[in-house]
Amino acid sequence: MVGGFTRAISSFTYRTFFKKESSYFTAIVATGVGFSIVFNTAFDKYWNNKTAGTKWEDIKDRYDFPLAKKAKSRTIVVRLISAAGTGFTYVKQRPRTAAYRLTMMKFDPIVNKHVLFVENKIK
């Protein structure tokens, strides 16, 4: 026969986790997520110890080879500065191979009219 304490624990467990379907589902999902986190952490620790010294991070300083150069972009970003001297700027793109400096007539809200904007590279 089941004792009073054991019966109380099983009754509490049933009422808390299994009586309502939403509680049952939440308990299953929480248990699965918790198990996944614990298992992955333990396995990662085991694997890192087992393969120590053989991973690329551990041996890449032994090799000296030039990395492939990244291709340059076809456009560059430039800053257009107001010729009125207000300090107002626009940011635009222009072709890298252009043989000219970008100039545009744009609206400057500080002087409230259209003024010439001249290219300046963004550093």
Contact predicate 75/98, CB 8 Å: no
Asked whether the whole model's pTM tops 0.85, one would answer no
Q: What is the pLDDT of residue 117?
A: 96
Q: What is the pLDDT of residue 30?
A: 92
Which segments in the chain show pLDDT lower than 70? 1-3, 64-68, 123
CB atoms within 10 A of CB 117: 23
Q: What is the pLDDT of residue 67?
A: 66
Helix, coil or strand: residue 81: strand
pLDDT digits (tens, 9 = 90+) for 29-39: 999 999 999 99
Contacts (Cβ under 8 Å, ≥6 apart) of 106: 80, 90, 114, 115, 117
CB atoms within 10 A of CB 78: 19
Q: What is the pLDDT of residue 61?
A: 78
